[in-house]
Amino acid sequence: MPEAENFQKTKLSEIENQNGQIENTILSALVGELRREFGPVLEKIKVEDVRIGLAYTGVLLSENYGGVACTPLYEFSGCPSLGFQDTIKGRTANKVLELALSRNPLETAIGIAAANALFHMLRNLKPENFPASDIDIFDLIKPEDGVAMVGYFGPLIPKILKITDKLTVLEKREIESPQTRTLHSEKAREILPASDVIILSASTLANRTFDELLSLRGTAREIVLLGPSAPLYPTPFFQRGITAIMGTQIFDPITMLTIVSEAGGTKKLHKYCGEKVALRKKSEFL
């Protein structure tokens, strides 16, 4: 990939958002890293299609790379909408990438999905820089651990409870017949600092709560970013304290667009168009 000294001169973790303000967040770091990795090539990569579904938002880029992000419907009290005069389709990847820094959650989701598509492209171009791990989330939990799960991952709960009974779920939605202790996400300040293992839903990126939640980690031994929205570009996360990323690489972007359009969820993504990928923090980041 071309270098980007003349293309992006700001620090990787400090770039201007759409209001001209300097940000130092995980999303600004990710945008900065992509600009460094791709340089001016970002102006040549085009957005071929965008789908905003009830579960996920999907972006298809030229060269047939696709990425997803959780659609943040719970962030809206009314009907969500985008006020663009022109379509997103046809814009450059660099322009759409900027949406990740928007204060509009739907725009943020589009920007994250575009970023994830670019990360998939980068992993294919430089696979040696992004070695996958065969570790499973259950390998990281010990019987004596207190586990905090931000976001209700129903299929994981019974397996975690077989390892430890000290599991607390933090969730904005009201869960009908929850399988374990479930509190509103407002209780994060009480629960996270006392936890040994924290499982963060990657949806915290689109709703822009990731940085605040991570700041509450206390002395947690393991902090896992989980879900198809999770960017498979580990360095900024590992530098901030994340110990594992468990996301999804889209291998069939056209099918992904169909699934997103039909309100398909994680199970369908993994069944038809995506594969789970785990990235594990190594000692040099400790």
pLDDT in tens, 178-218: 889 999 999 999 999 999 999 999 999 999 999 999 999 99
Out of 106, 129, 152, a domain closes at 129
Place of tokens 């929850």: 178
For residues 140 and 246, give the distance between their C-alpha atoms in angstroms, rounded to a whole number.
Answer: 12
What lies within 8 Å, CB to CB, of 133 at 6+ separation is 244, 278, 279, 280
87-107 pLDDT per residue, tens: 899 999 999 999 999 988 999
Residue 76: predicted pLDDT: 61
Enter the tokens of residue 173. 């939605």
Residue 24: predicted pLDDT: 82
Please check whether residues 235 and 156 belong to one and the same domain. Answer: yes
Mean pLDDT of 147-168: 96
* Helix H or strand E segment including 172: none
Q: What is the CATH number of the domain that holds 119?
A: 3.30.390.100
Residue 244 main-chain phi, psi, to 5 deg: -155, 145
Strand partners of residue 178: none
Asked whether residue 84 carries a pLDDT value surpassing 80, the answer given is no
Residue 236: predicted pLDDT: 95
Out of 129, 152, 178, a domain closes at 129
Mean pLDDT of 233-238: 96
Residue 176: predicted pLDDT: 82
- Quick one: how far is CA 91 from the chain centroid? 22
- Does residue 215 belong to any structural domain of this protein? yes
Percentage with pLDDT > 90 across the chain: 81
Please check whether residues 125 and 19 belong to one and the same domain. Answer: yes
For residues 198 and 221, give the distance between their C-alpha atoms in angstroms, rounded to a whole number.
Answer: 8
Mean pLDDT of 211-230: 97
Please check whether residues 215 and 90 belong to one and the same domain. Answer: no
- Does residue 35 belong to any structural domain of this protein? yes
- Does residue 120 belong to any structural domain of this protein? yes
> In this predicted structure, which of 34-38, 71-75, 81-85, 200-204 has the lowest mean pLDDT?
81-85
Please check whether residues 125 and 27 belong to one and the same domain. Answer: yes
CA quadruple 185, 25, 61, 230: dihedral, nearest 10 = -40
- Does residue 266 belong to any structural domain of this protein? no
Tallying the residues shown for the chain, one arrives at: 286
Range of the domain at 178: 137-248+277-285
Please check whether residues 104 and 150 belong to one and the same domain. Answer: no
Please check whether residues 122 and 141 belong to one and the same domain. Answer: no
User: Which ranges of 39-187 does DSSP label H, i.e. alpha helix?
Assistant: 93-97, 105-125, 157-163
Out of 129, 150, 166, a domain closes at 129
Q: In the structure, what pLDDT confidence band is assigned to residue 83 with cuts at 50, 70 and 90?
A: low
Asked whether residue 78 carries a pLDDT value surpassing 80, the answer given is no
The answer to whether the beta carbons of residues 27 and 18 sit under 8 Å apart is: no
